[in-house]
Amino acid sequence: MKDSYQIAVVPGDGIGPEVTDAALDVLRAAFGGELPLAFTEYPAGAELYRRTGESFPDATFQACRDADAVLHGAAGIPGVVHPDGTEAGLDFTLRLRFELDLFANIRPVRLYAGVRSPLAGVEAGQIDYVILRENSEGLYAARGAGAQLRGEMAVDTLVQTRKGVERIVRQAFEIARASNGAPADGVRRVTCVDKANVLRSYAFFRSIFDEVSKDYPDIEAEHGLIDAMAMYLVTRPGHYNVIVTENMFGDILSDLAAATIGGMGLAPSAEVGLSRGLFQAAHGSAPDIAGLGIANPYGTVLSAASMLEWLGRREADDRLVSAAARIRRASEKAIGDGALTRDLGGTADTASVVKRLCACLDA
Ligand code: IPM
Ligand code: MN
């Protein structure tokens, strides 16, 4: 436990600065006068790349590596790309994932009261699961290392290692053990999502899942093929408790999952390793609405709550753990009260959601 924690804040592009400011306001309010966090802002992103030719300065990288945690808004501007065609705005997130070994991407999927799911007849409380996305290998391991040959062919390689799969699967079972189980039946359950019927790399992932599952006889273990899972998350979301999957599958499935709970604006994410963490909403930089003051701040606010919980547990600091719970309760209440931005069918702007959130913190 420390008196104060260093938080590296990287606002990024598009709506990134707006949602970051919103989260900082809520964090400050959650602690009242005694803020145990020191925020320092650092530049990175596509706009920086456009201006300077550099998307992620070394000074920012070092600050992120040395901080207690990193809070990120969002990054990326369509068309701002490297010579190989990949987006410069993504360098920040991807480099941190690989170089700080942020192997676990924890994405809670929860339907709040006050939000209408596009799934007919599905009510608040009936969707409540975690997608645990492997975040350091899989298909993304090929970032910057694939090959393109004479404009005729291109190759990226999907990588699974025993160490990488084992640690993510183990974490999935630990999350399930600490949870209340699936909404439909209360069963603590981990679903391994792969394409083991077609590719060796996924059969390998599944075999390690089966080995690790033996250490958790109290948790139900099951398999799901990625294509079928895209259907099941729509037809029976209440069955799921914890889903563990390869990097790219987790990326895709988490957007689908977000759609079932009202959209990307309500999808937080925590990317953590053994001693470092990056916290940012799962949504992108939404350049079309940047600067209008109408961005949905909940994803970033809830990611900031995850940051406090992760840091608070690691440092055995109850000030942070209880502030995380306050922010989550306030979010639930504000959403339930109808403080909704346009993407959620409401009319509130970012500032009024923040105001409502801060008022709900004391409730
Ligand atoms: C996400 C995003 C990222 C990804 C980008 C920002 C690199 O889509 O976190 O889901 O593709 O993983
Ligand atoms: Mn994504």
156-172, pLDDT tens digit by residue?
999 999 999 999 999 99
**pLDDT at site 363:** 59
CB 94 within 8 A of CB 138: no
**pLDDT at site 13:** 97
Alpha helical stretches, state H, 58-161:
58-66, 91-99
Domain ranges of the chain: 1-110+267-363, 117-261
Class of domain 1-110+267-363 as given by CATH: alpha beta
- Tell whether the model's pLDDT for residue 189 goes beyond 70: yes
**pLDDT at site 217:** 98
Among residues 42, 49, 112, 140, which one is catalytic? Answer: 140
Q: Is the CB of 256 under 6 A from ligand 1?
A: no
Q: Give the residue, by CA position, lying nearest to ligand 1 atom 12.
A: 251
Mutate-to-test residue for ligand 1 from 82, 94, 252, 254, highest number of ligand atoms within 8 A of CB: 94
User: Nearest bound ligand to CA 76?
Assistant: 1
Q: Per-residue b/e over 231-251, b at no fewer than 16 CB within 10 Å?
A: eebeeebbbbbbbbbbbbbbb
Q: Give the residue, by CA position, lying nearest to ligand 1 atom 9.
A: 282
Q: In whole angstroms, how large is the CA radius of gyration of the chain?
A: 20
Q: Is the CB of 18 under 6 A from ligand 1?
A: no
Q: What is the pTM of this model?
A: 0.96
CATH superfamily of 117-261: Isopropylmalate Dehydrogenase (3.40.718.10)
Q: Can 1-110+267-363 and 117-261 be said to share one CATH topology?
A: yes
In this prediction, residues 56-72 reach a mean pLDDT of 98
Neighbour tally for 56: CB within 10 Å? 25
Q: What is the mean pLDDT of the chain?
A: 97
